[in-house]
Amino acid sequence: MEKRQELYAGKAKSVYTTDDPDRLVLQFRDDTSAFDGKKKEALARKGMVNNIFNAFIMERLEDAGVPTHFEQRLSDTESLVKKMDMIPVECVVRNIAAGGLVKRLGVEEGSELTPPTFELFLKNDDKGDPMINESLAETFGWATSEQLAQMKTLTYKVNEILKALFAHGGLLLVDYKLEFGLFKGEVILGDEFSPDGCRLWDADTREKLDKDRFRQGLGGVIEAYEEVGRRIGIEFPA
Ligand code: CDP
């Protein structure tokens, strides 16, 4: 497999073509952003930590029967993935109220959400990733009703798998965002799963161990990501 030219650079990852038209290389960079790219910083080790973290999670999800774009980790900061047609819709599940939900509805941060909520957002930075629903997604052709149903089923399945995985490490999976795409007509999980796109709290102290440390300027961002990784059995290089 040969890495060829850069296809595009996102806020935290760059994507490269390869000699295989069905495969891409994801390069995880140290760049960190929040608030639709308004707050930006490079955090040492982040690319490596998120690449290794994501590979570990994607392998667990595949083992549990969730189809993903992940193929294999190529280096500390690169992974090989299937080239998909991305569906421009973000799926968010929440087990505990935090972030946007608290802001929008005024519910108390930390309240348990039973059953867990499921929300859709349009993946569009210029528009600030607005909240959408199934009807809008169908009408504007972002996803079909069948694809939306599959995305919802898979997003909830991921919740059951990862809530249990993090619970073993004494962690609460508060909420997370997933993105899907189509590969040979099938809906599969894309993007990444790392502390950049979910909220994880210590189960006893409720200390935040995710990107909220960056958003809220709490410091110790990558230290927290590595702590979470170690608690679920990941070993990071020195
Ligand atoms: O990020 P913010 O608090 O504004 O939005 P949210 O709706 O509370 O986010 C729910 C979860 O999805 C959090 O774990 C976010 O980190 C994640 N998310 C994301 O990774 N990317 C987005 N564009 C929006 C949310």
Q: Which pLDDT belongs to residue 20?
A: 98
Encoding tokens for residue 111?
């309240």
Amino acid present at 185 = G
pTM: 0.97
Q: Which pLDDT belongs to residue 146?
A: 98
Q: Which of 38, 177, 199 to mutate to test the pocket of ligand 1 (most atoms within 8 A of CB)?
A: 177
Please name the residues in contact with 184: beta carbons below 8 A apart, sequence gap of 6 or more. none
Q: Which pLDDT belongs to residue 1?
A: 85
pLDDT at 76 over 90: yes
Do 73 and 51 meet the contact criterion of CB atoms below 8 Å apart?
Answer: yes
For the chain, what are the domain ranges? 3-82, 85-220
CA of 198 to the centre of ligand 1 (A): 7
Q: Which pLDDT belongs to residue 51?
A: 98
Q: Which pLDDT belongs to residue 24?
A: 98
Where helices occur in the chain by DSSP H, the ranges are 46-63, 99-105, 134-139, 145-168, 212-215, 221-231
- Summarised one tens digit per residue, pLDDT across range 192-218 is 999 999 999 999 999 999 999 999 999
CB 197 less than 6 A from any atom of ligand 1: yes
Give bridge partners of residue 82 from the DSSP assignment: 23
List the one residue out of 168, 237, 193 whose CA is nearest residue 62: 193
- Summarised one tens digit per residue, pLDDT across range 140-160 is 999 999 999 999 999 999 999
Give the span between the Cα atoms of 28 and 108, in whole angstroms.
Answer: 34
Q: Which pLDDT belongs to residue 36?
A: 86
What is the CATH class of 3-82?
Answer: alpha beta
Encoding tokens for residue 94?
């929440």
Length reported for the chain: 238
- Summarised one tens digit per residue, pLDDT across range 83-97 is 999 999 999 999 999
Residue nearest to atom 19 of ligand 1 (CA): 197
Q: Which of 57, 175, 210 to mutate to test the pocket of ligand 1 (most atoms within 8 A of CB)?
A: 175
Give the span between the Cα atoms of 123 and 205, in whole angstroms.
Answer: 33
pLDDT at 119 over 90: yes
CB 211 less than 6 A from any atom of ligand 1: yes
Would residue 136 be called left, alpha or beta, if left means φ above 0 and alpha means ψ between -120 and 50 degrees? alpha
CA torsion sign for 91, 94, 99, 105 is positive
Amino acid present at 92 = V
CB 31 less than 6 A from any atom of ligand 1: no
Q: Tell me what the mean pLDDT of segment 49-56 comes to.
A: 98
* 85-220 classified as CATH 3.40.50.970: no
CA of 193 to the centre of ligand 1 (A): 12
- Summarised one tens digit per residue, pLDDT across range 10-22 is 999 999 999 999 9
Please name the residues in contact with 129: beta carbons below 8 A apart, sequence gap of 6 or more. 36, 90, 121, 122, 123
Q: Tell me what the mean pLDDT of segment 128-134 comes to.
A: 97
CB 189 less than 6 A from any atom of ligand 1: no
CB 92 less than 6 A from any atom of ligand 1: yes
Average pLDDT over the chain, rounded to an integer: 98
Would residue 189 be called left, alpha or beta, if left means φ above 0 and alpha means ψ between -120 and 50 degrees? beta
Do 176 and 92 meet the contact criterion of CB atoms below 8 Å apart?
Answer: yes
